[in-house]
Amino acid sequence: MVTDMGYGAELLPEETKHAVAELAIHGMTCSSCVYLIESVLTEASGVHTASVALATKKCRVKYSSDVIGIRHIIELINGAGHFEASLASSQSRPESLSYNKEIRRWFSLFIFCLVFAIPVMVAMFDPLKAYLSVSLVPGLDVHSLAMWLIATLVQAVAGYPFYKSALYALRHKSANMDVLIVMATTIAYLYSMVVMIIAISAKRDTPKTFFEVSPFLLVFIAFGRWLEHIAKGKTSDALVNLMSLQATSTILVSLTDKGTIEKEEKIDIDLVQTGDHLKVVPGDRIPVDGKVVFGSSSVDESMLTGESLPVPKDVDHTVIGGTLNQTGLIVVQATHVGADSTLAQIVRLVEDAQTSKAPIQRYADKIAGVFVPGVLFLSLATWLVWFLLGYFYPSDIQNKHCIEELRSKNGSTSPFCLLENAFLYAVTVLSIACPCALGLATPTAVMVGTGIGAKQGVLIKGGAPLEATHKVNYVVFDKTGTLTHGQPSVVEVLPCDDQSTKVQSTKVSQPLLAIIGTAESGSEHPLGQAIVRYAKENLLTATFGTVDRFRAVPGCGLQCQVSDVHSTGESTVIPTVQSQSSSPSDVVIGNRQWLEKFGIEHIPSAVQSVMLSHEQQGRTVVLAAVNGELQAMLAIADTVRAEASLAVSTLRDIGIESIMLTGDNRRTAIAIAQQVGIDTVYAEVLPQHKCDRVKHLQENPMAGCPPTATSRPVVAFVGDGINDAPALTQADIGIAIGGGTNVALEAADIILMKNDLMDVVAAIDLSRTTVRRIRINFVWAILYNLIGLPIAAGVLSPVGISLQPWMAAAAMAFSSVSVLFSSLLLKRWKKRPRVVLATPSSSMTSGSTYSQAHSLV
């Protein structure tokens, strides 16, 4: 019909529906399980990506909901092994990170195995072994029978979960740690059964058996898994502590018109709605984010922001859910509830960070995919080599268990001796191999690192930024709201016109101030808001006039039409403004370059002199023109953060160059830079050019800066505003001030909750410490396998050094636990102590310090 009417038409392709689901998975034991689940999911039709975190037991899946459903995804995971997958709760609870169930299960299994391992250990001592070597029938004595009974019971009961997990893995053509355990215990058990049956059938002497391998191996495995899960629980302590800050119930109140409490009702926290009034008594946690509408108190915000001192709260002050009310009764009006609350968002950020993988983890994932098959091949090769060596060079094989049987009476090699020797080393290889240590090296360190950072007010969004931050070479600071407090105030307003030879000493007229205040009322820029506050305070009014055709260009200024201006007092100072109440005024406010675009190019020398004086003091100068004529100059000051110079000096001490990037004029920027000790300044940079400047730094390292160890410099950008979002995204590491805009917080990789620039140093220091710990974990895990596997295979047996299978099992359990406790050492990390700087560490002469400073217009 449409084409019949003469119009072209075509059917648009139906948009694919993408969805993201977060699942909780129980039953994972090592990195091979992670590799198996990710492989099964990514091979499924409709699944785009799958990321599994062993430490948090979480899986994040991105899929097409019109191709595959969440139930099918859960079925795939459950069918891949001995796993239990379920949809993660939308409301995070501490129980979701608890390992209590696993800890109890492995402790019970450890006690069960220990009960039988102790008698086996006692029976291995020579005096008792000789006492038990009473022959029942030819080829079978009391000792062998007792060992067989214990091994059978342990194999059937304690080995069941390992067999179940291994069968699931093999069914999906994969192999995990449990496959190695099952192979080791089963081979030792079956070999012992076969040689014992052969000895009984042939009526020979009782042969050497390996029935003790099952109880010894499983007791050490269970002990290691028990300690491993205890340590895993401790890695998530910081996140659990954050979750526990959430109140479970609160008191809902109804207020009368006079503001008094009329009715109270205790309700569950999940029933709180935006706008509800909630009563918070001293000692209770504030249930949700809100605004104080009654009472005053002091609030402890240390758990969320790291601020050690209580923060005074009065009417109209905002409060954060999860913080502790200390001194007074207050009534809070809920503004953000549920998943929108600050605490919920922090918890979600930390969970996301701990679920995501650091880039270095990809090496462990690749190794995990081939580790178990490689160990199985090595074990088979070990058996074959030792069997052939024993067959061709029997006199060179030193086996204390069968040295007497190296040759039988007719001169041929004893088959029992050959098999025993080969199986001993093959089983030892299976027992000592451990992919778990490799798989735990990165995620556990990331969990502890991000958790301890969140506890101290530094939110790091994942393993990738945590790893990349340690490589930072340049830290680029925005000025307004970052190096400064971002709450500027007007310090001077002087009238002027473009014909003046000197600045008038009188104050600006109220109509002119009203026009300027009205024009800036449509601006969200901190400087514009400062002008509005100044106008309201001086005119004693909350409203001014009407704004039309408003246009603002970040980094330049604004243009609009103002009408219906209301002011008080006389309006006879400036003729141009006297008649503005009857007709719209064309208003232009901004920097010099902005006014030049509207033909206002001439600025009297007297005005320029005053402007220069203010700019040398680090103040921002704004010019206002009405109907094409220059009318006023406004000087605005934004104080520098107290810790800014200390942060810059500390960064310099650790080899990182600090740079200022601002849209403000060059003189103001340099004045602020002199106060904080920054040597390199890029001023008058438009927001759209900030991104280009960051990219330029990434591609072109500056002369005189520390050499980089990477292919290109790594740049971190610190900002707080909407106009900083592109630069935050372009930078290798985007760092947002916690009090900044939502856009900046979303674009950043790291959020500083305390609005403290020293936390930039803390983030870099934490990253360096965490990456150093990850490398230590990796080196230990790799060296353990590189050294342990050859020793287990008998490489050092010619010099008398060899391992029994139970020794290998103990070493394997120790390797995983040692990596976990190594990661837990990160909990000892603390921020650098603050020191008082008498003067900035750099020279502050404008001639030398800023020889490299640039301006982009």
- Which residue numbers are catalytic? 478
558 contacts 519 by C-beta, under 8 angstroms:
yes
Q: How far apart are CA 23 and CA 73, in angstroms?
A: 10
| C-beta neighbour count of 656 within 10 angstroms | 20
Q: How far is CA 299 from CA 248, 266, 323, 331, 486, in A?
A: 19, 22, 7, 13, 24
What stretches of 84-155 adopt beta strand conformation (E)?
84-87, 135-137, 140-141
Q: How far apart are CA 658 and CA 665, in angstroms?
A: 19
| C-beta neighbour count of 112 within 10 angstroms | 18
What does residue 581 show for φ and ψ, rounded to 5 degrees? -70, -20
What does residue 629 show for φ and ψ, rounded to 5 degrees? -120, 135
Site of tokens 């106008």:
535
At residue 419's C-alpha, the angle toward residues 783 and 152, to 5°, is: 85
Site of tokens 């003067």:
839
Q: Which two tokens stand for residue 742?
A: 């939502």
Q: How far apart are CA 796 and CA 531, in angstroms?
A: 81
DSSP 648-694: HHHHHHTT-EEEEE-SS-HHHHHHHHHHHT--EEEES--HHHHHHHH
676 contacts 639 by C-beta, under 8 angstroms:
no
- Residues whose CB falls within 8 Å of the CB of residue 381, separated by 6 or more in sequence, listed in order: none
Spatial CA neighbour of 641 closest among 739, 495, 537, 522:
739
Site of tokens 């979750």:
243
Beta-bridge partner residues of 19: 63
Q: How far apart are CA 316 and CA 57, in angstroms?
A: 42
19 contacts 13 by C-beta, under 8 angstroms:
no
Q: How far is CA 829 from CA 240, 450, 492, 824, in A?
A: 19, 12, 47, 10
DSSP 230-253: HHHHHHTHHHHHHHHTS-SEEEEE
Q: How far apart are CA 191 and CA 209, in angstroms?
A: 8
Q: Which helix (H) or strand (E) holds 463?
A: helix 463-468
Spatial CA neighbour of 354 closest among 228, 245, 237:
237
| Edge-to-edge strand ranges of the sheet holding 84-87 | 47-53, 58-64, 18-26, 84-87
Spatial CA neighbour of 380 closest among 372, 369, 392:
372
Side-chain-side CA neighbours of 545 within 13 Å: the count stands at 31
Q: Which two tokens stand for residue 856?
A: 């982009």
822 contacts 780 by C-beta, under 8 angstroms:
yes
Q: How far apart are CA 556 and CA 682, in angstroms?
A: 16
- Residues whose CB falls within 8 Å of the CB of residue 146, separated by 6 or more in sequence, listed in order: 119, 123, 132
At residue 672's C-alpha, the angle toward residues 498 and 482, to 5°, is: 110
737 contacts 431 by C-beta, under 8 angstroms:
no
| C-beta neighbour count of 308 within 10 angstroms | 8
